[in-house]
Amino acid sequence: MSIRVGKTGNEAVAEAMRQINPDVVAAYPITPQTEIVQIFSSFVANGKVDTEFVTVESEHSAMSATVGAASAGARSMTATSANGLAFMWEIVYIAAGMRLPIVMPVVNRALSGPLNIHCDHSDTMGARDSGWIQLFSENAQEAYDNAVQAPRIAENPDVKLPVMVTMDGFIISHAMEVMEILEDEKVREFIGKYVPENPLLDVDNPVTLGPVDLQDWNFEHKRQQAEAMRNAKPVILDVASEYAKLTGRKYGLFEEYKLDDADIAIVVLGSTAGTAKVAVDQLRAKGVRAGMLKIRVFRPFPAEEIADALKHVKAVAVMDRSDSFNAVGGPVFVDVRSALYDVDNGPKIVNYIYGIGGRDVTPDHVKTAYADLAKIAETGQVENPLTYLGIRE
Amino acid sequence: MSVPKDAGWKDVPKAGRILEPGSAAKYETGGWRTYRPVHIPENCINCLFCWIYCPDQAILVEDGKFKGIDYAYCKGCGICATECPGKRGNKALKMVLDEEA
């Protein structure tokens, strides 16, 4: 039976980490992630886990130590936010390129500058092409559920890639909600005993990891990495279906909310999905056929599946909580629009950049996007391909 | 790691991992070469300077005499040709573009 508790997102993820009981955690505090490793370090100090906790002097060292531990054969985790993730950058790519199944909760926060500690997705969106799997969470429950599923995805023999589990800074990380957690033994049984691949500490079978890899084979190893990301898609679904049997909570690559018969729809990630559901319900009550698609798995990007789910919709708005500064639109918009390119007579598609630096987004904001979509659906004309939602003009 | 010549990306250990210790001898560095040394027997005095200087033991010697060049390992560095004194100023090793050799 599940246990009903009140927890913040950070507490929920720290709880998942306690239950996963990783061999090594190397981490450095940064707002708004600090609580995760702070709470976890108390589990270490109180003997609640067997983890070797490595306090490091920076995030670059945190990810380096995590890569070292994972190479040695340890189930390894860390956690970070924003500039911490940026500081890890070099080793973030190395973790993926070395095919190490590290799990890292990332509490989404705006990247400086100007200095800001509040939620947007610029940190993890910047790392979207680093070779990590990215699971986004709408609330503390999903952050917990994604964290428990992450080791199974990362460690799958066909995948062997690191996984980021993200949640919105403060909005999820510091807000308490009623949620369900599993018993410790259920989690341990679900994730199973870790069997590392080619561990350095297996001295009877000495191996070299991360050697120089030049023109002759580097391309082939990158091709393997690309295939692993493709393999991750069915694995994520298999793990989700097994998790659903355990918890009753169903997860896919994305969640469709009243999308089946929708004329207009928005695509969104993270906590704003909850806000959008309220807006959808209010519009539905007035007879507007509004729907929503919430992306859970951003990497690998479920392009065909999203195209299929949106192909009947007349107008789609993609909500981006970060800007690509490419003078076109946000990163989610670019990927979703590309996914829809091959759909004949597909929906008109527009972009809304919102919530930057923690700017609040309310159901009314979301409803202005739906109002724009209704007009596009009616006229077939797009006046503003990109709108900065909630900006002071 | 000994990799078959026709191996593709699905056949090799992931991420460039080397799963076999002491396997550097099986890694054929000849693929790095742009120029290859070519031996001119009539100019060779068998001084074996090439054998002494070669950093990759790619000069083959038998019964104290120059026998040939192991192109599987010769990286084409050209040290042998530089050091070769030759006979009466005519070198016994010259560097030639690999595809023209």
pLDDT at residue number A161: 98
Would the CB atoms of B16 and A198 count as touching at under 8 Å? Answer: no
- Identify which of B9, B19, B21 has the shortest CB distance to residue A223: B9
Tell me which chain B residues have a C-beta less than 8 angstroms from the C-beta of A216: 31
Q: Give yes or no for a contact between A271 and A168, defined as CB atoms under 8 angstroms apart.
A: yes
Separation of alpha carbons B56 and A215, rounded Å: 20
pLDDT at residue number B1: 52
Residue B21 lies in a domain: no
- Identify which of A219, A221, A227 has the shortest CB distance to residue B15: A221
Separation of alpha carbons A198 and A211, rounded Å: 14
Statement: residue B101 has pLDDT above 90: no
Distance from CA of B65 to the nearest CA of A (A): 34
Tell me which chain B residues have a C-beta less than 8 angstroms from the C-beta of A99: 14-15
Q: What number of CA atoms fall less than 13 Å from residue A328's CA on the CB side?
A: 11
Separation of alpha carbons A363 and B17, rounded Å: 51
Tell me which chain A residues have a C-beta less than 8 angstroms from the C-beta of B5: none
pLDDT tens digits, chain A, 393 residues: what are they? Answer: 689 999 999 999 999 999 999 999 999 999 999 999 999 999 999 999 999 999 999 999 999 999 999 999 999 999 999 999 999 999 999 999 999 999 999 999 999 999 999 999 999 999 999 999 999 999 999 999 999 999 999 999 999 999 999 999 999 999 999 999 999 999 999 999 999 999 999 999 999 999 999 888 999 999 999 999 999 999 999 999 999 999 999 999 999 999 999 999 999 999 999 999 999 999 999 999 999 999 999 999 999 999 999 999 999 999 999 999 999 999 999 999 999 999 999 999 999 999 999 999 999 999 999 999 999 999 999 999 999 999 999
Domain that holds residue B59: 40-101
> Contacts by B16-22 with C-beta closer than 8 Å and gap 24+?
B16/A210, B16/A211, B16/A213, B16/A217, B16/A218, B16/A221, B17/A198, B17/A207, B17/A208, B17/A209, B17/A211, B18/A207, B18/A208, B18/A211, B19/A198, B19/A205, B19/A207, B21/A206, B21/A207
Tell me which chain B residues have a C-beta less than 8 angstroms from the C-beta of A220: 8-9, 12
Separation of alpha carbons A354 and A270, rounded Å: 13
| Residue among A94, A103, A70 at smallest CA distance from A211 | A94
pLDDT at residue number B23: 85
Tokens of A6: 């009140």
- Identify which of B8, B17, B21 has the shortest CB distance to residue A198: B17
Using an 8 Å CB-CB cutoff, list residues of chain A that contact chain B: 97-99, 160, 198, 205-211, 213, 216-221, 223-225, 227-228
Residues with Cβ within 8 Å of residue B69, at least 6 apart in sequence: B36, B37, B39, B58, B59, B60
Compute the average pLDDT of residues B21-27: 83
Residue B101 lies in a domain: yes
Q: Give yes or no for a contact between A77 and A103, defined as CB atoms under 8 angstroms apart.
A: yes
CATH code assigned at B59: 3.30.70.20
- Tell the residue number behind the tokens 């190397």, with chain if given: A26
Q: What length does chain B have?
A: 101
Q: The CATH number of A3-247 is which of 1.10.340.70, 3.40.50.970, 3.40.50.150, 3.30.420.40?
A: 3.40.50.970
Statement: residue B3 has pLDDT above 80: no
Tell me which chain A residues have a C-beta less than 8 angstroms from the C-beta of B24: none
Q: The CATH number of A254-388 is which of 1.10.1050.10, 3.30.70.1350, 3.30.300.130, 3.40.50.920?
A: 3.40.50.920
What is residue A126's three-state secondary structure? helix
Distance from CA of A70 to the nearest CA of B (A): 14
Interface test with A, best of B1, B5, B9 (most A CBs within 10 A): B9
Separation of alpha carbons A135 and A132, rounded Å: 10
pLDDT at residue number A2: 86
Tell me which chain B residues have a C-beta less than 8 angstroms from the C-beta of A160: 14
First to last CA, chain A: 52
- Tell the residue number behind the tokens 């800074």, with chain if given: A169
pLDDT at residue number B21: 87
Interface test with B, best of A155, A203, A216 (most B CBs within 10 A): A216
The tally of domains found in chain B comes to 1
Tell me which chain A residues have a C-beta less than 8 angstroms from the C-beta of B27: none
Compute the average pLDDT of residues B43-67: 96
Phi-psi region of A319 (alpha: psi -120 to 50; beta: other; left: phi over 0): beta
Residue B31 lies in a domain: no
Residue B59 lies in a domain: yes
Separation of alpha carbons A346 and A313, rounded Å: 8
Residue B91 lies in a domain: yes
Q: Delimit the domains of chain A by residue range.
A: 3-247, 254-388
Q: For the purposes of burial, counting CB atoms within 10 Å of the CB of A345, is it exposed (0-12), middle (13-18) or buried (19 or more)?
A: exposed
Using an 8 Å CB-CB cutoff, list residues of chain B that contact chain A: 8-10, 12-19, 21, 31
pLDDT at residue number A1: 63
- Tell the residue number behind the tokens 């799997």, with chain if given: A133
**If pLDDT is split at 50, 70 and 90, which confidence band does B32 have?**
confident
